[in-house]
Structure 1
Amino acid sequence: MDTDPLFSTFAALDTENLTVLTIEDDPLVRQSFVMYLEDYGFHVLQANDGVYGLRVFREQQPDLVLCDIRMPEMNGMEVLEVITKESPETPVIMISGAGMINDVVESLKLGAQDYLVKPVTDLDVLGHAVKQALSKKALESENQRFKSELERANHELQNNLNVLREDQEAGRRAQLQLLPPPEQKVGDYEFLHTVIPSLNVSGDFLDYFEIDEEHLGFYIADVSGHGSASAFVTMMLKSLFNQPLRQYRVSQDQTILSPAKVLEYLNQEVIAANVGKHVTLFYGVIDLTNHQLTYSIAGHYPRPIVVKGKSKELLTDRGFPIGMFDWATFTDHHLEFTQDMSLIMFSDGVLECLKQDEIVPEHSLLDIIYLKNSSVQDITQQLNIKSKSNVPDDVTVFIVRRNDR
Structure 2
Amino acid sequence: MAATVLVIDDDSTVRDSVVAYLDDCDYHMQSAGSAQEALDVIEVAVPDAVICDLKMPGMHGIQLLEKLRENHPDLPVIVVSGAGVMDDVVRALRLGAADFLVKPILDLEVLVHSLRKALSHQTLQRENKAYREHLEATNRELKLGLDELRADQQAGRHAQLRMLPEPLNMDDVFCEHKLQPSLMLSGDFLDFMEVDDDRLAFYIADVSGHGASSAFVTVLLKNLTYRLKRNFQRGSSDDILKPDLVLGRINNELLASELDKHLTMFYGVLTLSTGVLSYSVGGHFPMPVLISNGEARFFEGRGMPVGLFKEAEYKSIDVELADDFRLMMFSDGILEIIDEASLNDKESRLLAMASESEGKLDTFWSIAGVAGHEEVPDDIAVATVCRGVL
- Indicate whether the TM-score tops 0.5: yes
Q: What SS does the corresponding residue of 1:180 show, helix, strand or coil?
A: coil
> Does 2:162 correspond to 1:184?
no
How far does residue 251 in structure 1 lie from its aligned partner after superposition?
2.3
Q: Which residue of 2 aligns with 1:117?
A: none
Q: Which residue of 1 aligns with 2:51?
A: none
Q: In structure 1, how many angstroms separate the alpha carbons of the residues matched to 2:260 and 2:213?
A: 9
Q: Which residue of 1 aligns with 2:266?
A: 282
Q: Aligned runs of 1:189-338 on 2, under 5 Å?
A: 189-338=173-322
Which of 370, 376, 379 in structure 1 is aligned with 2:355? 370
Shift of the 384–273 alpha-carbon distance from structure 1 to 2, 3 Å rule, reads same
Identity of aligned residues (%): 39
Q: What SS does the corresponding residue of 1:194 show, helix, strand or coil?
A: strand
Which one-letter code corresponds to 1:373 in the other structure?
E
Contact 1:204–1:347 (8 Å) recurs in 2 = yes
> Does 2:385 correspond to 1:400?
yes
Which one-letter code corresponds to 1:192 in the other structure?
E
Which one-letter code corresponds to 1:380 in the other structure?
W
Q: Which residue of 2 aligns with 1:156?
A: none
> Does 2:381 correspond to 1:391?
no
How far does residue 336 in structure 1 lie from its aligned partner after superposition?
1.3
Q: In structure 1, how many angstroms separate the alpha carbons of the residues matched to 2:261 and 2:372?
A: 26
> Does 2:341 correspond to 1:357?
yes
Q: What SS does the corresponding residue of 1:297 show, helix, strand or coil?
A: strand
Which stretch shifts more, 305-314 or 347-356?
305-314
Q: What SS does the corresponding residue of 1:374 show, helix, strand or coil?
A: coil
How far does residue 404 in structure 1 lie from its aligned partner after superposition?
7.2
Q: What SS does the corresponding residue of 2:186 show, helix, strand or coil?
A: coil
Q: What SS does the corresponding residue of 1:260 show, helix, strand or coil?
A: helix
Which one-letter code corresponds to 1:204 in the other structure?
D
Q: In structure 2, how many angstroms separate the alpha carbons of the residues matched to 1:401 and 1:230?
A: 29
Shift of the 372–402 alpha-carbon distance from structure 1 to 2, 3 Å rule, reads farther
Offset from partner CA, 1:132-163 (integer Å, 9 cap, x none) = xxxxxxxxxxxxxxxxxxxxxxxxxxxxxxx9
Shift of the 276–254 alpha-carbon distance from structure 1 to 2, 3 Å rule, reads same
Contact 2:266–2:280 (8 Å) recurs in 1 = yes
TM-score where L is the length of structure 2: 0.59
Q: In structure 2, how many angstroms separate the alpha carbons of the residues matched to 1:388 and 1:207?
A: 25
Shift of the 358–309 alpha-carbon distance from structure 1 to 2, 3 Å rule, reads farther
Shift of the 372–383 alpha-carbon distance from structure 1 to 2, 3 Å rule, reads closer
Which one-letter code corresponds to 2:332 in the other structure?
D
Q: In structure 1, how many angstroms separate the alpha carbons of the residues matched to 2:176 and 2:291?
A: 15
Offset from partner CA, 1:290-311 (integer Å, 9 cap, x none) = 1111000100110101111321
Shift of the 309–297 alpha-carbon distance from structure 1 to 2, 3 Å rule, reads same
Q: Which residue of 1 aligns with 2:143?
A: none
Q: In structure 1, how many angstroms separate the alpha carbons of the residues matched to 2:272 and 2:298?
A: 23
Counting matched residue pairs gives: 242
Q: Structure 2: which 5+ residue stretches go unaligned?
A: 1-147
How far does residue 342 in structure 1 lie from its aligned partner after superposition?
0.9
Q: In structure 2, how many angstroms separate the alpha carbons of the residues matched to 1:309 and 1:303?
A: 19
CA RMSD after TM alignment: 2.0
Q: What SS does the corresponding residue of 2:381 show, helix, strand or coil?
A: strand
Contact 1:190–1:403 (8 Å) recurs in 2 = no
Contact 1:310–1:372 (8 Å) recurs in 2 = no
Contact 1:164–1:228 (8 Å) recurs in 2 = no
Q: What SS does the corresponding residue of 1:326 show, helix, strand or coil?
A: coil
Q: Which residue of 2 aligns with 1:380?
A: 365
TM-score where L is the length of structure 1: 0.57
Q: Structure 1: which 5+ residue stretches go unaligned?
A: 1-162
Q: In structure 2, how many angstroms separate the alpha carbons of the residues matched to 1:327 and 1:226?
A: 26
Which one-letter code corresponds to 2:337 in the other structure?
C
How far does residue 402 in structure 1 lie from its aligned partner after superposition?
1.0
Shift of the 323–341 alpha-carbon distance from structure 1 to 2, 3 Å rule, reads same
Q: Aligned runs of 1:30-49 on 2, under 5 Å?
A: none
Shift of the 235–268 alpha-carbon distance from structure 1 to 2, 3 Å rule, reads same
Q: Which residue of 2 aligns with 1:102?
A: none
Greater Rg over alpha carbons, structure: 2
Q: What SS does the corresponding residue of 2:348 show, helix, strand or coil?
A: helix
Q: In structure 1, how many angstroms separate the alpha carbons of the residues matched to 2:159 and 2:150?
A: 12
How far does residue 164 in structure 1 lie from its aligned partner after superposition?
9.1
Shift of the 340–283 alpha-carbon distance from structure 1 to 2, 3 Å rule, reads same
